[in-house]
Amino acid sequence: MDKVRIGDIAEKSGVSLTTVSRYFNKPELLSESTKKNIEATIKELNYSQDKLARMLVTGKSNLVGIILPHFRFGFYTELLNQLIEQGKAKDYNFITYTSDSSKDSELALIDELTSYRIKGLILLSHTLDSQDIEQLPMPVIAIERTGGNFMQINNDNMTGGRLAAELLIKNKCEVFIHINNDYIATWPSFKRIMGFEYSTKDYIHETIIDKVYYNPYSQEASIAMNNLLKSLLEKYPNKKIGIFCSNDDIANLVLKHCIKNHISIPGTIELIGYDNSPISDHAVYPITSVAQNIPLMAQIAIDALDNYKAYESIVPAALIEKETTS
């Protein structure tokens, strides 16, 4: 079949080419009856709009770029799911890349995205500094980073760390452990450590930072976690230990080795993760977690693409109690 053109729609609908163009670009200028008439014709003719041609004519794009550090953590995959789902209502399509933590390679990815005339960039990596981001030729929405003249969406990490500590204190833990894969003091997630350490300052507490947990599904991370749990039980015999992890994936690794070593959860160890990502619900024992409200973060990001302003939006943290705390 020959490709249906806008002129065919205009002729069959009995309206002008200008009216059909307004239907696609400024539908608010048309009456409801006119829009329904054109819509019915589009369905009858089985018309599929050439989005590239529309972009070239209008100078506007429905493409959105996303750069993630990786897909290992459930937070990133669930956020991507939510962005795609909530972007459907605005007919957005997404081009997604992962970054290898090299500034030059990330800038090259952004150059490629620029060639697609993207509407905006949703950035979750920490590779570029604020000055680099401010110079990018498109609106940038950064998630879980702060500082700079661009939009930022961050969780209330300080409250999240505090809520985790308060629950473990309430449940009569005697030793408090935070496990993290890394931190930089300027990252918003550093406040998880601050909130937890401040709340447990009057108790026995440790913060354990090990980059091996960047990939909690690796053999190296598994060995490290097994050794860590054994050392904690030897160091604090007959004491109830509360463990707070920087994300649910690390918490799930803790849970796995507690089960393998017959360590009682939540009897000997109480466990809290962060993000309330799907893995926290699907673990062998659903993991108590600090929720980032991922759907809300995604909705704020999608809405910002049409109403872009350089400001920081703080999403409230909430503790979701499950089976790894008493």
The pair of structure tokens assigned to 74 is: 């459930």
> Does residue 229 sit in the same domain as residue 255?
yes
Instruction: Give 201-260 pLDDT, tens digit per residue.
Output: 999 999 999 999 999 999 999 999 999 999 999 999 999 999 999 999 999 999 999 999
Any domain includes 276: yes
Q: Residue 51's pLDDT is what?
A: 59
The pair of structure tokens assigned to 58 is: 């209008």
> Does residue 145 sit in the same domain as residue 164?
no
b/e map 67-103, b = 16+ CB within 10 Å: bbbeebbbbbbbbbebbbebbeeeebeeeebbbeeee
Please state the domain count of the chain.
3
Q: Residue 54's pLDDT is what?
A: 57
Coil, strand or helix: which one is 45? helix
Task: Give CA–CA dist 296/315, Å, rounded.
Answer: 8
Any domain includes 99: yes
Spell out the residues 6+ positions from residue 15 whose beta carbon is closer than 8 angstroms to its own: 34, 37, 38
Any domain includes 323: no
Least Cα distance to 279 among 216, 214, 224 occurs for 216
Least Cα distance to 165 among 242, 218, 104, 217 occurs for 242
> Does residue 23 sit in the same domain as residue 103?
no
Task: Give CA–CA dist 62/89, Å, rounded.
Answer: 12
Any domain includes 200: yes
> Does residue 243 sit in the same domain as residue 301?
no
> Does residue 185 sit in the same domain as residue 287?
yes
> Does residue 167 sit in the same domain as residue 280?
yes
Q: Residue 74's pLDDT is what?
A: 93
Any domain includes 320: no
1 pLDDT tier (thresholds 50, 70, 90): very low
Coil, strand or helix: which one is 176? strand
State phi, psi for 190 to the nearest 5 degrees: -60, -25
> Does residue 132 sit in the same domain as residue 178?
no
H helix intervals, the chain? 6-13, 17-25, 32-45, 51-58, 74-87, 103-115, 130-134, 157-170, 190-199, 219-235, 248-260, 278-282, 294-304
Tell me if 139 sits within 8 A of 122, measured CB to CB: no
Kindly report the CATH number assigned to the domain that includes residue 75: 3.40.50.2300
Any domain includes 122: yes
Q: How many CA atoms lie within 13 A of 31 on its CB side?
A: 4
> Does residue 167 sit in the same domain as residue 142?
no
H helix intervals, 88-237? 103-115, 130-134, 157-170, 190-199, 219-235
Tell me if 254 sits within 8 A of 242, measured CB to CB: no
The pair of structure tokens assigned to 266 is: 């939540």
- Is residue 158's pLDDT more than 90? yes
> Does residue 178 sit in the same domain as residue 271?
yes
Tell me if 308 sits within 8 A of 99, measured CB to CB: no
Least Cα distance to 247 among 221, 282, 279, 210 occurs for 279
> Does residue 77 sit in the same domain as residue 26?
no
Q: Which domain holds residue 15?
A: 6-49
Task: Give CA–CA dist 194/197, Å, rounded.
Answer: 5
Overall pTM > 0.85: no
CA distances for 185 relative to 46, 104, 146, 178, angstroms: 55, 23, 11, 16
- Is residue 184's pLDDT more than 70? yes
- Is residue 86's pLDDT more than 70? yes
Q: Residue 20's pLDDT is what?
A: 87
Any domain includes 55: no
Any domain includes 125: yes
> Does residue 186 sit in the same domain as residue 228?
yes
Residues in the chain: 326
- Is residue 55's pLDDT more than 70? no
309 pLDDT tier (thresholds 50, 70, 90): very high
Coil, strand or helix: which one is 162? helix
Q: Considering the chain, what is the average pLDDT of its residues?
A: 93
> Does residue 120 sit in the same domain as residue 15?
no
- Is residue 314's pLDDT more than 60? yes
- Is residue 156's pLDDT more than 80? yes
